[in-house]
Structure 1
Amino acid sequence: MNYENILVNTENNIATITINRPTKLNALNKLTIEELHQAFQELEKSYDVRVIILTGSGEKAFVAGADIAEFANFSVEEGVQLAAQGQDILFNFVENLKIPVIAAVNGFALGGGLELAMACHIRVASDNAKMGLPEVSLGVIPGYGGTQRLPQLIGKGRAMEMIMTAGMVNAEEAHRTGLVNHVVPQAELLSFCNGIAQKIMKNSPVAISMAINAVNANFKEGENGFQTEIKSFGKCFGTEDFKEGTTAFIEKRKAVFTGE
């Protein structure tokens, strides 16, 4: 499928989605959000894709925020709809995707860009990355899950400070507080993420999918994460991957998982 604002490449069961609006520092506009949704949806259905890496084009920015010009004159109702639709089709969608998503954060990840990175399952930053939620400096608050996911990752106090000061943190600070998993030189960013993807792909796709669901359940209102884990654990016993994994262990060989 051809896209206007993103590039999608699949190689060796790893799909790379590149947000490609370099003149706008890869800012998220309505079309880009819709295209990202379509791409993630298609890749989730593909049997050839085991891991997705999400990054931005160029060396300056992962995503430098939302395209403010698109919503500067919105009404209250339009603002509510903007946040609700964005969370539904992209941010929550990515968080609950059955396939692991790694954010390769190259450069600025601000506002909606940081919110998108936080929706991914793993975050790796280049050493020149800068991250922040500057929305209050525009008279608004983060609307794509930032007020919820940032405290989950770095704690309430640090999140409050980042949001209320509208300040940015560098890659090392982001790593120290748990906002990102790793920091690497920019030239090594994609190859490092590819290495993580390779490690993931040695394991059972169906078990990984259930693990994502179980971990996310702990943060969903009305869900009991422990009960979700118990049920998912039990479901694993009915999969071909479980039979293959346990048989391979007993036979002292490497398992060959099919994702079934």
Structure 2
Amino acid sequence: MTTPAQIIVTKADGIATITLNRPDKMNAYTRTMGEEIMAAMDDIDADDAVRAVIFTGSGERAFCAGADLTPEGGGQVFSSGDTVETLSDPRVRDGGGLLTLRLFESKKPLISACNGVA
């Protein structure tokens, strides 16, 4: 796994901690953050030494402000921009939905340690 830019992942004593790390933006969720969390969850699920996962946010103001509606890199916020033929096309599901499905499939218990606004 490459070093993530928007989350911090630590493992200690059987616990993995995923920290949302955009305190200047109140840890607002981005496509990049979602991709990093899903990659971290793949790594964590494969690690038999990890027994549980804690999610938290950096900074004191918020756990997560919700979706960041500012486009990353000048692109579209959460859209692929591609035309789809049917609503069953996997590109229809947004990044938040994909992350929700990935967390649902987790092999480890997930704990949210909310600090500040959630």
CA change 1:85–1:27 in 2 (3 A) is closer
Give the C-alpha shift of residue 82 in structure 1. 6.2
Residue 25 of structure 1 corresponds to 26
Pick 1 or 2: higher relative contact order, CA cutoff 8 A, min separation 6: 2
TM-score (normalizing by structure 2): 0.79
**SS of structure 1 residue aligned to 2:43:** helix
Q: Deviations over 1:38-73 (max 9, x none)?
A: 001100000110000001101111110111022469
CA distance in 2, matches of 1:41, 1:73: 22
CA distance in 2, matches of 1:72, 1:45: 31
Residue 117 of structure 2 corresponds to 108
> Does 2:90 match 1:87?
no
Residue 97 of structure 1 corresponds to 106
Q: For residues 223-234 of structure 1, what are the structure 2 equivalents within 5 Å? A: none
- Residue identity in the other structure for 2:14: N
Residue 45 of structure 1 corresponds to 46
CA distance in 2, matches of 1:15, 1:52: 5
Q: Which segments of 5 or more consecutive residues in structure 1 lack a partner in the other structure?
A: 110-260
Give the aligned length. 107
Instruction: Indicate conservation of the 8 Å contact 2:31/2:95, yes or no.
Output: no
Give the C-alpha shift of residue 83 in structure 1. 3.6
Larger Rg: 1
Residue 6 of structure 1 corresponds to 7
**SS of structure 1 residue aligned to 2:37:** helix
CA change 1:91–1:9 in 2 (3 A) is same
Give the C-alpha shift of residue 87 in structure 1. 1.7
**SS of structure 2 residue aligned to 1:69:** coil
Residue 183 of structure 1 corresponds to none
CA distance in 1, matches of 2:111, 2:48: 18
Q: Which segments of 5 or more consecutive residues in structure 2 lack a partner in the other structure?
A: none
Give the C-alpha shift of residue 77 in structure 1. 5.3
CA-atom RMSD in angstroms: 2.4
Structure with greater helix percent: 1
**SS of structure 1 residue aligned to 2:66:** coil
TM-score (normalizing by structure 1): 0.38
Give the fraction of aligned pairs with identical amino acids, expressed as a percent. Answer: 37
Instruction: Indicate conservation of the 8 Å contact 2:26/2:62, yes or no.
Output: yes
CA change 1:72–1:97 in 2 (3 A) is closer
